[in-house]
Amino acid sequence: MESIGVVVNPIAGMGGRVGLKGTDGNVEEARRRGAKPRAPDRAREALRSLHRRAPDITVLTAAGVMGERAARDAGYEPEVVYDPADATSESPAGEPERVDDPTTAETTATDTRGAVRALLERDVDLVFFVGGDGTAVDVAEVLEADGSETPMLGVPAGVKIYSSVFGVTPADAGRIAAEFDRVENREVNDIDEDAYREGTVRTELKAIVPVPVAPDVQSGKQVSSGSVDSLAAGFAREVEPGRTYVFGPGSTVGAIEEELGIDPSPLGVDVWRARAGDDGTDGDDSRSRRGELLARDAAETGILEVLTDPVTIVVSPIGGQGFVFGRGNHQISPQVIRRADEITVVASGEKLDDIDSLRVDTDDEEVNESLRGWVQVRIGRFTTRLVNVV
């Protein structure tokens, strides 16, 4: 590979930690809630991984935070082939306003598509993009409209990642970009974010595109429908009086919450404290009195505000991918994870059958490393299965 085209969606993933479950159409609300950009940092991590292996490759990119800054920070001298300022506003002096500040960047899907078109005109060998499923759709649509066979590879930075065109981590994506020698067709999927915020997952196949072949390109999301009633009942009987529980998203964790008398937010994060002195043997009629719901569908700040020790985080891996942190539950941030003295992973046996290992991607390598290793995943009322977190 001689050249690579880099496109960064600087607002991708901003809605995660503030509980928006996505950023499409919600940038201003995310900023109002104090969201911070994560895509530029992940772009730098990926490009530094690439630079360590391919320092002499030609990098073509878009101006400012759409790729240029991250490429320079990684050690490259990129060639800028697209500037969003040329297509948007001008300063009072008549000069284009460079999109250079990730906290105020106003780039759009139109800019992503424009940058990809400019890269294809220069015959790059790979379109290397940073974003989520929405960004992947934008890139794929341009490739298909152009009739291009140029492969694409994503650096995961969005709130939800349902497409199978991303490296597992930014560093993995950089390594794959440097070392791949063949491609295969993969799916680009997206969901209806408005429905997602209401607790409904509606996925749609958007494109089939060529993607570098490597073990660390993640699979598409799969949904397991196995019964988790016994798992939920077993967990609920063992809640510790006075302990605070942070319940992640998903139907498996939601079943546990329902067993405890909680009305769960299916795709959000809830915080609940078991009543002090509860022995876990109350009947069904008294379930709602077994504890107190401290926060429902909470953002990172809301979770931190109500945490009191001891703390247990309860999460379930994404089917087919195996992520327990870093996909769809950014509200459970590294700071939240550090507050927990216990992390419980739950899943149906059927879901685990399709997962070779569990994965984490929290934006904090120290936290990631602390989470790695073999863990007992609860799969039933009394049963567990040993699975490696890599």
More confident residue, 86 or 386: 386
pLDDT value of position 14:
64
pLDDT value of position 199:
59
pLDDT value of position 225:
38
Give the sign of the dihedral formed by CA 75, CA 365, CA 39, CA 129: positive
Residue 252 has pLDDT above 80, yes or no: yes
Residue 218 has pLDDT above 90, yes or no: no
pLDDT digits (tens, 9 = 90+) for 167-184: 989 999 999 999 999 999
From 49, 70, 77, 52, select the one nearest 6 (Cα to Cα). 70
Give residue for tokens 């567990």. Answer: 384
Residue 127 has pLDDT above 60, yes or no: yes
Give the range among 55-59, 157-161, 247-251, 365-369 with minimum mean pLDDT: 157-161
**Rounded distance between C-alpha atoms, residue 386 and residue 357, angstroms:** 10
**Number of other residues whose CB lies within 10 A of the CB of residue 104:** 11
Which of 199-208, 259-268, 334-343, 373-382 has the highest average model confidence (pLDDT)? 334-343
Residues 69-97: what's their mean pLDDT?
75
- pTM, two decimals, is 0.64
pLDDT value of position 190:
80
**Rounded distance between C-alpha atoms, residue 55 and residue 59, angstroms:** 10
pLDDT value of position 283:
45
Residue 66 has pLDDT above 90, yes or no: yes
Residue 129 has pLDDT above 60, yes or no: yes
Instruction: Check: CB of residue 378 under 8 Å from CB of residue 346.
Output: yes
Question: In sequence order, what are the beta bridge partners of 82?
Answer: 62
- 3-state SS, 2-32, equals CEEEEEECCCCCCCCCCCCCCCCCCHHHHHH
pLDDT value of position 138:
95
Backbone torsion region of residue 13, taken as left when φ is above 0, otherwise alpha when ψ lies between -120 and 50, otherwise beta: left
* 28-to-35, 41, 88, 93, 194 alpha-carbon distances in Å: 9, 20, 18, 27, 16
Assign domain 3-212 one CATH number from 3.30.310, 3.30.70, 3.30.200, 3.40.50.
3.40.50
Residue 186 has pLDDT above 80, yes or no: yes
Residues 223-241: what's their mean pLDDT?
76
Instruction: Check: CB of residue 99 under 8 Å from CB of residue 91.
Output: no
**314-333: b or e for each residue (b if 16 or more CB lie within 10 Å)?**
bbbbbbbbbbbbbbbbbbbb
210 upstream amide cis, omega within 30 of 0: no
Residue spans per domain, the chain: 3-212, 229-389
Residue 120 has pLDDT above 60, yes or no: yes
How sure is the predictor about 256, in pLDDT bands with cuts at 50, 70 and 90? very high
pLDDT digits (tens, 9 = 90+) for 262-282: 999 978 999 999 998 654 444
Instruction: Check: CB of residue 99 under 8 Å from CB of residue 105.
Output: yes
More confident residue, 283 or 156: 156
pLDDT digits (tens, 9 = 90+) for 342-373: 999 999 888 888 888 999 999 999 999 999 99
pLDDT value of position 203:
66
Residue 329 has pLDDT above 70, yes or no: yes
Give the range among 28-32, 71-75, 318-322, 357-361 with minimum mean pLDDT: 28-32
How sure is the predictor about 125, in pLDDT bands with cuts at 50, 70 and 90? very high
**Rounded distance between C-alpha atoms, residue 340 and residue 187, angstroms:** 36
Average pLDDT, the chain: 84
pLDDT value of position 355:
86
CA angle centred on 349, ends 343 and 350, rounded to 5°: 125
Beta carbons within 8 Å of 85's beta carbon, 6+ residues apart: 63, 64, 96, 97, 98, 99
**Rounded distance between C-alpha atoms, residue 295 and residue 9, angstroms:** 31
Q: At what angle do helices 39-53 and 170-179 cross, to 10 degrees?
A: 40
From 227, 293, 278, 231, select the one nearest 259 (Cα to Cα). 231
